């Protein structure tokens, strides 16, 4: 089985979300989410949805659906809004806290969206949001531009396909899925470097070992990869990732 991702189009039904000049957040979110889901499915990801039509479910219901489905990741797609029109522009992603693979996914999605023309407003912590607090899996909420910004709406409409692809690529980049999705992993490790010159890999390994990180080197497709540990769950790998980041290393969680 492939990875499974629960995609959540924000709002719906009696809850339109943000509204501007007749434009409703729930409609933009649904159209974009379905487009992202199609792209992910084409790449072999098992995609689930909290809704595929204009219906209402509470944030708590959405979180419980994701938990009951046993999804590996949860991504909620929204449009932002500000008190006054045409005051702010840009995309931002929200996470429960700035740690682990969810932060990495949020950053990757933002970077990909920035390439479509949006201002990148960064990743913010929002521990009070139900869909981030009550979901059991790594979860990200993406605010795809301000619905009351003419600039962002023009970008959203003119670059719709590129925006959907950007979100899909941000997700896939996080999972190291450049083309094909692997079978579900039995373990996870944390990669700290990939080099074409083995000398650099040896140097990084020794540096990590001296700090009691269980670093090993493997060779793959002409690259010497330095990884730390083997963990049966994402949470355990994310704990090691946090330790490595605090020590100043660039990291990515890899399944295998």
Question: For the segment 23-80, what is each residue's pLDDT rounded down to a tens digit?
Answer: 999 999 999 999 999 999 888 888 999 999 999 999 999 999 999 999 999 999 999 9
Task: Specify the range with the lowest mean pLDDT, choosing from 94-103, 117-126, 147-156, 227-236.
Answer: 227-236
If one counts every other C-beta atom within 10 angstroms of the C-beta of residue 52, the result is 12
- Residues 9-22 have a mean pLDDT of 97
- pLDDT digits over 71-116, tens only? 999 999 999 999 999 999 999 999 999 988 999 999 999 999 999 9
User: Which pLDDT belongs to residue 178?
Assistant: 34
Q: Is 229 helix (H, G, I), strand (E, B) or coil?
A: strand
Cross-strand partners of 225:
194, 218
**pTM passes above 0.75:** no
Contacts of 152 (CB under 8 A, 6+ apart): 89, 90, 118, 145, 146
57-75: b or e for each residue (b if 16 or more CB lie within 10 Å)? bebeebbbbbeeeebbbbb
If one counts every other C-beta atom within 10 angstroms of the C-beta of residue 154, the result is 12
Residue in this structure with the two tokens 């692809």, named with its chain if needed = 165
d(CA 241, CA 228): 9
Mean pLDDT of the chain: 90
**Banded model confidence at residue 179, pLDDT cuts 50, 70, 90:** very low
Please indicate whether residue 141 or residue 224 has the higher confidence score (pLDDT): 141
Contacts of 246 (CB under 8 A, 6+ apart): none
């Amino acid at each position: 089985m492939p990875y499974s991702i629960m995609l959540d189009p924000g709002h719906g039904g009696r809850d339109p979300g943000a509204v501007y000049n007749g434009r409703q957040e729930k409609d933009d979110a649904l159209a974009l989410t379905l487009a992202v889901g199609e792209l992910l499915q084409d790449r072999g990801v098992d995609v689930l949805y909290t809704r595929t039509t204009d219906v209402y479910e509470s944030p708590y219901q959405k979180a419980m659906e994701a938990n009951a489905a046993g999804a590996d990741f949860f991504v909620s797609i929204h449009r932002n809004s500000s008190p006054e029109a045409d005051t702010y522009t840009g995309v931002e992603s929200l996470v429960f806290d700035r740690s682990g693979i969810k932060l990495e996914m949020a950053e990757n999605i933002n970077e990909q969206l920035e390439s479509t023309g949006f201002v990148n407003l960064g990743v913010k912590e929002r521990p009070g949001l139900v869909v981030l607090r009550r979901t059991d899996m790594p979860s990200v909420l993406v605010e795809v531009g301000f619905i009351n910004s003419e600039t962002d709406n023009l970008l959203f409409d003119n670059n719709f396909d590129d925006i959907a692809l950007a979100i899909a690529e941000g997700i896939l980049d996080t999972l190291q899925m450049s083309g094909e999705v692997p079978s579900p992993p039995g373990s996870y490790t944390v990669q700290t470097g990939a080099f074409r010159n083995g000398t650099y890999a040896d140097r990084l390994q020794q540096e990590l070992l001296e700090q009691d990180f269980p670093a090993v080197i493997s060779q793959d497709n002409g690259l010497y990869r330095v990884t730390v540990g083997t963990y049966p769950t994402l949470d355990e790998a994310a704990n090691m990732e946090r330790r490595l980041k605090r020590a100043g290393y660039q990291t990515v969680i890899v399944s295998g």
